Structure 1
């Protein structure tokens, strides 16, 4: 039986609570001996104690593991001298050092979850946003310039290699899916501002070149401002959306809001050899230690991790376990057994986890 080493960086705030909830569900789904969880330190609180947000030993373990499960990082009061938060540096360093170039954000409306969209009862929302994860505007973090306390600049960086590989990732993903809910067409939508900036015109042009290798997948284009309207008015049109780093960050949160919020939004940051998985939410230090956080985003991120491992290692058992976890989450929500607070219920983190485990059983 295959055995997979999973480095767990619980991190800050609610990170330890939701990470432990996900581990419990993963063990229930795959058995005790398939996943070997290795605890490793990192995050803002660790930085405050040691001066190091990502210890060398943690990085080594991440390099050698099959995957990384990350709770949450960041505490607003722990910042660098320039005012930026320390906690963000943990996964930013891992992105660049492990070349996690594709941020995978599934946007799917589950039964039993209310959507703020008026037509939610007749609209099927099921698409994936692929955010380029190592370039774009965020590549300038730490390198921006402030002149005489009067002017500030950050540089948007886009390379052919970076765009081509994330576009190819998006097209390959579309081939594995069943198409957009509205018409069943496999479709990749390129989100950009090609009408204004050369960098985004280049992003679009490279995506268009890649599309030539995928005649079975339709290519579509949307400006970043316009897509925020389309995601609300016709979310069932979308299959896969690919975007530059900052735009992908923004529209991912918008998409999450249409299907219940960040508390139910999974996320994966993957490259050719490594993958990191965490809920799309933050560390929520205001409710840390109260057993009040929803573990669903983290649990669904664990399922996303199993999907990635299954694909990478041709392990159908892991793929089946991932499907069972998603079905267990949907069952627990649709039957109203344990609804977390962010979805209008009152269930604790432990109660939600218990309900998902019962549904798995």
Structure 2
């Protein structure tokens, strides 16, 4: 092994985040039993529920614990301010309760890229026009989104002018800088170089999604995209307006290999892309930098589902697998890389078998409990990992 033990910080967060994180830990514990890899878990309470009770996002010292971890697993952050009403619980400074654990970590740990693999696994069907249908062949949906993760409209530059206590003017300033754009765009090209090209034509391609006919920040982003793209003659470049991209993504997903975008547009289009792979129950977000990584299912806290053993744990489990793969690559530990690949393979096996699966994938009549899905993934792991043999 590349290390005596790897420390994994757990931020289960709110709502179903607590439940799916526990399922992911079960899978990682099984990996440890099978391989002998030592994974030490450091669970940190954080989120809107913690803020509501304590008046802060998480306990003192949590920032340091996250910085010291080898990888971070995040569940879900956020709760409604009032039951059955729109609007998130906010802190006194106007930020969402639990901001420190999600956005704060991205900034403090310089997690400059949000990388989202979008892959349609065999056996997964889509919910289209009121019924589950197989719209795309699985091999036609296999792309990676690389989204700038620390600036743009999410940089936090703005506010509300409220003379007399009544909101009158709101501003959100968009910030796009050369350094942040350069590194996320370069990561997109490096990602393309490590892939086999788009499913449709096997061409290595990076698609830049912007609104450069209107926005100055997008024009800067595109100019940097073209500069860096010139260094990669093996990769085809294309620039697409975000509004046009949304319909092309759905019409011909097989055309796309790697997609790069500024923060806000990237956030929106990756949510749309999750529909191509069967929904948020199997969709993963990887927040990565040069030294740190935080991995999460992209779904929300869904408090109405808490305690029912019914939500899909696969996104959280796949997030754990991505964390192992990333950490193994960073630390030069091939056993950890294999562990990450095995987690994904076990999930793939269960999906291909068609059972047990949760309601979001097969409907309520055939739905299995969340715990049964996790148990099935654990059962499949042994077939993809060499069993530990002690001397």
Q: Identify which of 142, 146, 160 aligns with 1:130.
A: 146
Instruction: Classify the secondary structure of the residue corresponding to 1:184.
Output: coil
Q: Match for residue 62 of structure 1?
A: 66
Within 5 Å, give how 1:35-46 maps onto structure 2: 35-46=39-50
Relative to the length of structure 1, the TM-score reads 0.95
- Residue 83 of structure 1 deviates from its aligned partner by 6.5
- Residue 290 of structure 1 deviates from its aligned partner by 1.5
- Residue 218 of structure 1 deviates from its aligned partner by 1.5
Q: Match for residue 310 of structure 2?
A: 292
Q: Match for residue 193 of structure 2?
A: 175
Within 5 Å, give how 1:271-286 maps onto structure 2: 271-286=289-304
Tell me which structure has the larger Cα radius of gyration. Answer: 2
**CA separation in 2, counterparts of 1:147 and 1:47?**
25
**CA separation in 2, counterparts of 1:59 and 1:176?**
33
Are 1:199 and 2:217 counterparts? yes
Instruction: Classify the secondary structure of the residue corresponding to 2:61.
Output: helix
- Residue 162 of structure 1 deviates from its aligned partner by 0.6
Within 5 Å, give how 1:1-361 maps onto structure 2: 1=1, 2=3, 3-31=5-33, 33-77=37-81, 78-80=89-91, 85-115=96-126, 116=128, 119-121=135-137, 124-140=140-156, 143-146=158-161, 148=163, 149-344=167-362, 345-361=366-382
Relative to the length of structure 2, the TM-score reads 0.88
Quickly say closer, same or farther: Cα 1:17–1:119, change in 2 above 3 A.
closer
Identify unmatched segments of 5+ residues in structure 2: 82-88, 383-391
Instruction: Classify the secondary structure of the residue corresponding to 1:71.
Output: strand
**CA separation in 2, counterparts of 1:91 and 1:19?**
15
**CA separation in 2, counterparts of 1:283 and 1:136?**
25
Instruction: Classify the secondary structure of the residue corresponding to 2:74.
Output: strand
**CA separation in 2, counterparts of 1:248 and 1:122?**
23
**CA separation in 2, counterparts of 1:52 and 1:147?**
25
- Residue 36 of structure 1 deviates from its aligned partner by 1.1
Q: For the aligned residues, what is the CA RMSD?
A: 1.7
**CA separation in 2, counterparts of 1:9 and 1:122?**
32
**CA separation in 2, counterparts of 1:332 and 1:67?**
26
Identify unmatched segments of 5+ residues in structure 1: none
